[in-house]
Amino acid sequence: MGEDVLAGASCTLESENKHMKKSFSVVLILLVVINLSVAEETAFNGVRLADAKWKQDDARLTFSDNNKNMVVRVADRDFVTVPYDQLEL
């Protein structure tokens, strides 16, 4: 009788283990799909930009996947906006 109980517990654990693996796989796939479908905006603070008199100001450099451009912002104003297709590497 003790062996039957252990065999039943073993089947239950195997069933739960398979269920957990399947659930984990589904969650992992969902996270990957969500991550790939969300456009991103990356910003760099503390960038120094020199003006015509060589005075340096703090700027913020932002790469926007939504707008497909790069924006240089000085003093909370857009200083220059460059589309991705105009950038040369």
Task: Render pLDDT for 53-65 as a digit per residue (tens, 0 to 9).
Answer: 888 888 898 888 8
Residue 89, domain member (yes or no): no
Is residue 57 within 8 A of residue 51, CB to CB? The reply is yes
**pTM: predicted TM-score of the whole model, two decimal places:** 0.50
pLDDT band at residue 6 under the 50/70/90 scheme: very low
* Helix (H/G/I), strand (E/B), else coil: 11: helix
Find the domain containing 4 and state its range: 1-38
Please check whether residues 34 and 51 belong to one and the same domain.
no
Residue 50, domain member (yes or no): yes
Please check whether residues 80 and 56 belong to one and the same domain.
yes
Residue 16, domain member (yes or no): yes
Task: Render pLDDT for 30-87 as a digit per residue (tens, 0 to 9).
Answer: 777 766 666 678 888 988 888 788 888 888 988 888 888 988 888 878 888 888 888 8
Number of domains the chain contains: 2
| Element housing 82 (H / E) | strand 77-83
Please check whether residues 18 and 51 belong to one and the same domain.
no
Residue 64, domain member (yes or no): yes
